[in-house]
Amino acid sequence: MKQSLLVLILASFFLAACGGPGGQALPEQERENFERILQEEAGKNK
């Protein structure tokens, strides 16, 4: 019982750490999104 619980916890940590292809944006995408949001906000404030 304890072993299966430990395996489940380790598997969940592994899956959370990997995240898969759609888990996190790449730094280039993050920068582009941030710049786009800043431009949209600047347009709203004018």
Band of pLDDT at residue 6, cut at 50, 70 and 90 = very high
Contact between 25 and 33 (Cβ < 8 Å): yes
Across the range 15-44, mean pLDDT stands at: 77
> How long a stretch of residues is the chain?
46
Could you tell me the sign of the dihedral formed by the alpha carbons of 7, 12, 13, 19, in that order?
A: positive
What is the pTM assigned to this prediction?
0.41
pLDDT of residue 3: 92
Between 40 and 46, name the one with better pLDDT: 40
